[in-house]
Amino acid sequence: MTTTKDSAESGTDTETNTGTGLSQAETALKLLDTMLRIRAFETRAERLFLDGEIPGFAHLSIGQEAVAAGVCEPLRTTDYITSTHRGHGHTLAKGAPVPNMMAELLGRSDGVCRGRGGSMHIADFSVGMLGANAIVAGGLGLATGAALSARLTDRDDVAVSFFGDGATARGPFHEALNLAVVWELPVVFVCENNGWASTTRSSEALAVPRITDRASAYRIASRGVDGNDVFAVHDAALWAVEHARRGAGPVLLECVTYRMRGHYIGDATKYRERAELAEWEERDPIPRAVTEVIKAGVADPATCERMRRDAEVEIENAVEFARASAPPDVAELARYLYSERLPADSWSE
Ligand SMILES: Cc1ncc(C[n+]2csc(CCOP(=O)(O)OP(=O)(O)O)c2C)c(N)n1
């Protein structure tokens, strides 16, 4: 983080780096705030799931919040993202409303997908979130197509595809990168390399040590970054998004990070050593960001603590909202599944 104490306190920090009009100090606090909201949301969702209040299956991104927060901050509402089975953080960072997100996890009618999607298929087109995806690497082609649509309709929107290291061993990764380069599409491919694909260590499944090692094969601009340093991720994202938006073609970003929970809620994680987790807990992106903003004089410890508590209150209110929301009406079960353009009563027979 480069913000200085003087500029943050004097209010003379006119240097903006996001195109959003925020100062560097405001941006730093926004990044921290987004990470705190994601952490609070998922920590609460974990308990709700274990208590049986969330149906289906859920995967947490606890430990990986810096990637979602850092990458989404430079994006506009009209930009697109596609996500993975581990998509709560991306969806929140892109601006989906927290109460309706929580209602979606609980399968309620006020959910962002009216309770049809749940944790693993969450989407909110109104903020450009085109969907979580249960198919590993399923989002890369969708983001590439969204970028093509922006190009064909003369919009300067960009598409970001989040995916894990495991996805890079699948065909859609290679097809999407190749086509995006050939057609110079405005896509930012963001690999969250958390070292594991389910129970398989990535070093046992990938032919290259770094995902960015693949970049030269596709002549794609790329950068690798510490994915647990939200400010480093943000800097890389600013570069990548600007590159794609000005028509210079796609970008591959590799964010090296770690999931501090199991592959899914309830996973006993017998395949990894406790010491490995402990090592990564030392690099938890949230305390690291707190230390940075305090050191830079952007906020004091009490402010950071208040932000954490505010995030928890916001999430608790979202839980109350979700619990009060009715389950979807069974008579409407087949509505909203295929196209919003269908006449309202097409599926009622
Ligand atoms: C095409 C496909 N193959 C296998 C699976 C089963 N599966 C679900 S998640 C996962 C691991 C994905 O690892 P990675 O892409 O690194 O993402 P992470 O879970 O680490 O976030 C696998 C193999 C699937 N959902 N889709």
Distance 218 CA to ligand 1 centre (A): 23
Query: From atom 25 of ligand 1, which residue's Cα is the shortest distance away?
Result: 135
Residue 258 falls inside a structural domain: yes
**Is residue 34 a contact partner of residue 26, using CB atoms and an 8 Å limit?**
no
Would you state the torsion angle of the CA atoms of residues 269, 315, 109, 140, taken in this order, to the nearest 10 degrees?
-50
**Which pLDDT does position 343 carry in this prediction?**
57
- 233 φ, ψ to 5°? -60, -45
Query: What's the pLDDT tens digit per position in 112-134?
Result: 999 999 999 999 999 999 999 99
Residue 47 is encoded by which pair of tokens?
A: 């308990």
**Which pLDDT does position 239 carry in this prediction?**
98
CB of 164 closer than 6 angstroms to any ligand 1 atom: yes
Q: What is the mean pLDDT of residues 163-185?
A: 98
Q: Please state the atom number of ligand 1 nearest to the C-alpha of residue 168.
A: 15
Q: Please state the atom number of ligand 1 nearest to the C-alpha of residue 196.
A: 20
Distance 15 CA to ligand 1 centre (A): 41
Residue 139 is encoded by which pair of tokens?
A: 């989002």
Q: Please state the atom number of ligand 1 nearest to the C-alpha of residue 85.
A: 9
Q: Is the pTM of this model over 0.75?
A: yes
**Is residue 133 a contact partner of residue 159, using CB atoms and an 8 Å limit?**
no
How does the average pLDDT of the chain come out, rounded?
A: 92
Residue 346 falls inside a structural domain: no
Between CA 286 and CA 232 the distance in angstroms is 13
Residue 1 falls inside a structural domain: no
CB of 134 closer than 6 angstroms to any ligand 1 atom: yes
**Which pLDDT does position 336 carry in this prediction?**
81
Query: What's the pLDDT tens digit per position in 283-308?
Result: 999 999 999 999 999 999 999 999 99
Domain count of the chain? 1
CATH number of the domain that residue 256 is part of: 3.40.50.970
**Which pLDDT does position 216 carry in this prediction?**
96
CB of 198 closer than 6 angstroms to any ligand 1 atom: yes
**Which pLDDT does position 215 carry in this prediction?**
97
Residue 178 is encoded by which pair of tokens?
A: 């190749």
Kindly state the helix (H) or strand (E) to which residue 312 belongs, with its residue range: helix 301-324
Pairing of strands 221-226, 251-256: parallel
pLDDT at 10 > cutoff 50 = no
> What residue has token string 């295929």?
338
Residue 42 falls inside a structural domain: yes
Between CA 85 and CA 131 the distance in angstroms is 10
Residue 99 falls inside a structural domain: yes
**Which pLDDT does position 8 carry in this prediction?**
32
pLDDT at 3 > cutoff 50 = no
Distance 213 CA to ligand 1 centre (A): 21
Distance 190 CA to ligand 1 centre (A): 15
6 CB burial (10 A radius; 0-12, 13-18, 19+):
exposed
Residue 28 falls inside a structural domain: yes
Q: Which domain holds residue 157?
A: 13-321
Distance 64 CA to ligand 1 centre (A): 16
pLDDT at 183 > cutoff 60 = yes
Distance 133 CA to ligand 1 centre (A): 10
For the four alpha carbons of 89, 95, 97 and 100, in that order, the dihedral sign comes to negative
- 81 φ, ψ to 5°? -135, 150
**Which pLDDT does position 4 carry in this prediction?**
36
**Which pLDDT does position 337 carry in this prediction?**
77
**Which pLDDT does position 333 carry in this prediction?**
82
Q: What is the mean pLDDT of residues 139-159?
A: 98
DSSP lists the bridge partners of residue 141 as none
Residue 267 falls inside a structural domain: yes
Between CA 44 and CA 32 the distance in angstroms is 18
Residue 332 falls inside a structural domain: no
Which of 42, 88, 135, 136 gets mutated to test ligand 1 (max ligand atoms within 8 A of its CB)? 136
Q: What is the CA 222 to chain-centroid distance, rounded?
A: 19
